[in-house]
Structure 1
Amino acid sequence: MNIAQFIISILIFFVLFFSIGFILNMLLRMTWVMAIIYPIVTIFIIDDIRFIQYFREPGSSFSALGEKLTNLVMVDVVILLSGLAGAIVSGIAIRVLRKKGYRMF
């Protein structure tokens, strides 16, 4: 991956999860909903095991997930952390807007 792809990926993940978090916060009126859901979304991005397998075969599923997490490259970790930062900043933005008196938030 070259540096341009890396920077664009960071921006895309930040904006994507900021936007999703902002919309979910407006609709559900729960400030930190996307920050709580983000680890589950990250697991779906990283792992290719179906969700039901975590309940049917938890031992092998979680060990495969742990193996995938330890094999992540630093570039992937930074990109995924930028998505988490976007989800957290969306919660902060909603909080600030609510304090400023915007009732729709």
Structure 2
Amino acid sequence: MIQFIMSILLFFVIFFGLAFILNMLVRQTWLMAIIYPFIVIMIVDDISTARYFTEPGYAFTKAAARFTEITFADITILGAGFVGTIVSGFVIRFLRKSGYQMF
């Protein structure tokens, strides 16, 4: 149970930080929220990204099978990462409205 809670917190903080830095550098507030589903696919599918281009039939079938195997705990942890990216977007917007110019 402790690992579950720590994983949720860790994913939230990691993706909040990544999204915050990405938002500051490219000045696109919601870019990480758009990229996040692709990151989830890379985490869950356990397939080389190149195989999606070289063997698309195998790769998409394997990815779909892996997505049906994820548990509620996995969904919760990955969801915490997505919430972190969303919160980061709101924080960046608030800071920009408050007069802070990020890079």
TM-score tier (shorter): over 0.9
Question: What TM-score do you get using the length of structure 2 for normalisation?
Answer: 0.95
Q: CA deviation at 1:104?
A: 2.0
* Residues 18-97 of structure 1: pairs in structure 2 closer than 5 A: 18-97=16-95
Counterpart of 1:52, as a letter, is A
Q: Structure 2 CA distance, aligned partners of 1:91 and 1:59?
A: 36
What is the alpha-carbon root mean square deviation over aligned residues?
1.0
Q: Structure 2 CA distance, aligned partners of 1:94 and 1:84?
A: 16
Counterpart of 2:91, as a letter, is A
Q: CA deviation at 1:12?
A: 0.2
Counterpart of 1:48, as a letter, is D
Counterpart of 2:99, as a letter, is G
Q: Structure 2 CA distance, aligned partners of 1:77 and 1:55?
A: 27
User: What do the CA deviations read for 1:18-62 (whole angstroms, capped 9, x no partner)?
Assistant: 000000100111101111111111111111111111112212111
Moved more, 10-19 or 30-39: 30-39
Q: Which runs of 5+ in 1 are unaligned?
A: none
Aligned partner of residue 81 in structure 2, secondary structure: helix
Aligned length: 103
Q: Which runs of 4+ in 1 moved over 6 A?
A: none
Q: Structure 1 CA distance, aligned partners of 2:61 and 2:88?
A: 32
Counterpart of 2:64, as a letter, is G
